[in-house]
């Protein structure tokens, strides 16, 4: 494994983000979870400190941060509040198709407002009948003159209904299977675009997850990303990269749960001494810390591979996302056990952390899909 490091400037930025997360984000986390309302104040906080600008190149108003720095930023935010960490992760996810395959005009049109945080982004791939089987989508796009007419819907879309910039995938030629899927930039105000059901979720409750509906939605032909038929490839290339951010979110949640468990174990007295003196608790903490550190190395390594331009990083990004999210579920579960009855109560953040951790095993490719990606890569070598 190569040395994993960031520049001195990025190291200073991550330190600043950690301070912001502890002082400004952490005090809001419980309320965001309780109300289930989108945290506009957190969005403004990240925008004010140029954190949302990290994924965008400098020539479009961004910071041009390395993938490793973005990963570390998501981790630090998620350590205090998974919903807030997701703001940065999805700003990258929703814009990644444009970064990978968009033309110069598209980048200059959308990136400055996304980098400033004025606009939010969303990624529209999943449908009610096509989750892991993305190729089974039903949404169609038909070319009519200088426009495409979209009909269909997308489900479980993060920032759905809030994002001004939606990268949406639709079928332009059903006979070609996955090679008949194309990608489009759909603005929130386009005729025929509306928001359907807003989900009531188990975790990341402050992040709005909604259905996107397209009824004869008019999209300018110039908003096609890349060429017709490249959509599925663009979607998979995007997820290869951005699932690292979900690994970082899971890592941050796990780190926060570990710190909570250590602190509580030192303070909680039973049978005349802190429970941290009990070997049973010590062994749990040791296992938790080892899982967190292993997840960190996997996540950081995948991000560093992207930064180095290595071509075979997909297997490693799947490993990172899969292991980190599984570790987050295990670590948060153990944290609740260490806190005992208090762990089950909303007075402490442990139960929120476990609810937030669960989605990291599911979105941006379930962990079963990640295992398929890893296995196929191994068998093809």
Report the distance separating Cα 139 and Cα 214, nearest Å.
Answer: 8
Phi, psi (rounded to 5 degrees) for 230? -95, 0
Among 272, 268, 322, which residue's Cα sits nearest to residue 295? 322
**Any idea what DSSP says for residue 131?**
S
Contact call for residues 121 and 163 (beta carbons, < 8 A): yes
Q: Look up 75 and say whether it is catalytic.
A: no
Alpha carbon of residue 157 to chain centroid: 12
| Range 150-179 burial, b when 16+ CB lie within 10 A, else e | bbbbbbbbbbbbbbbbbbbbbbbeeeeeeb
Q: How many CA atoms lie within 13 A of 255 on its CB side?
A: 21
Name residues whose C-beta falls within 8 Å of residue 240's C-beta, 6 or more positions apart in sequence. 313, 314, 317
Scanning the structure block, which residue is given the tokens 């703001």?
87
Contact call for residues 167 and 230 (beta carbons, < 8 A): no
Name residues whose C-beta falls within 8 Å of residue 329's C-beta, 6 or more positions apart in sequence. 354, 357, 358, 361
- Among residues 75, 211, 330, 364, the one annotated as catalytic is 364
Report the distance separating Cα 346 and Cα 82, nearest Å.
Answer: 16
Report the distance separating Cα 245 and Cα 266, nearest Å.
Answer: 32
Contact call for residues 91 and 56 (beta carbons, < 8 A): no
Catalytic center residues: 364
């Amino acid at each position: 494994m190569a040395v994993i490091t960031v520049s001195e400037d990025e190291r200073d930025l991550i330190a600043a983000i950690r301070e912001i997360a502890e002082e400004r984000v952490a005090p809001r986390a419980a309320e965001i979870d309780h109300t289930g309302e989108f945290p506009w104040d957190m969005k403004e906080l990240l925008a004010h400190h140029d954190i949302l600008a990290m994924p965008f190149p400098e020539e479009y108003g961004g910071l041009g941060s390395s993938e490793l720095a973005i990963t570390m930023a998501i981790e630090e935010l998620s350590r205090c509040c998974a919903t807030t960490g997701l703001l940065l992760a999805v700003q990258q996810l929703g814009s990644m198709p444009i970064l990978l395959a968009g033309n110069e005009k598209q980048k200059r049109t959308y990136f400055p407002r996304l980098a400033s945080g004025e606009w939010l982004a969303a990624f529209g791939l999943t449908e009610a009948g096509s989750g892991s089987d993305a190729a089974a989508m039903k949404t169609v796009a038909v070319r009519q003159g200088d426009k495409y007419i979209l009909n269909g819907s997308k489900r479980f879309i993060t920032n759905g209904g809030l994002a001004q910039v939606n990268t949406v995938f639709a079928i332009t030629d059903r006979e070609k299977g996955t090679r008949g899927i194309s990608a489009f930039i759909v603005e929130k105000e386009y005729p025929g675009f509306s928001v359907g059901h807003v989900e009531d979720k188990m975790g990341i409750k402050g992040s709005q997850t909604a259905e996107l509906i397209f009824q004869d939605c008019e999209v300018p032909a110039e908003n096609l990303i890349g060429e017709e038929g490249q959509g599925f490839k663009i979607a998979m290339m995007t997820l290869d990269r951005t699932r690292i951010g979900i690994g970082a979110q899971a890592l941050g949640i796990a780190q926060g749960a570990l710190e909570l468990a250590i602190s509580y174990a030192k303070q909680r007295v039973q049978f005349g001494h802190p429970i941290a003196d009990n070997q049973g608790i010590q062994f749990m903490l040791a296992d938790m810390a080892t899982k967190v550190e292993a997840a960190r190395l996997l996540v950081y390594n995948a991000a560093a591979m992207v930064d180095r331009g290595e071509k075979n990083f997909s297997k490693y990004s799947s490993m990172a996302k899969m292991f980190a999210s599984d570790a987050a579920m295990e670590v948060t579960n153990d944290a609740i056990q260490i806190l005992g009855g208090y762990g089950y109560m909303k007075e402490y953040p442990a139960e929120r952390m476990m609810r937030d951790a669960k989605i990291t095993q599911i979105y941006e490719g379930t962990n079963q899909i990640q295992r398929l990606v890893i296995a196929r890569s191994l068998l093809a070598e």
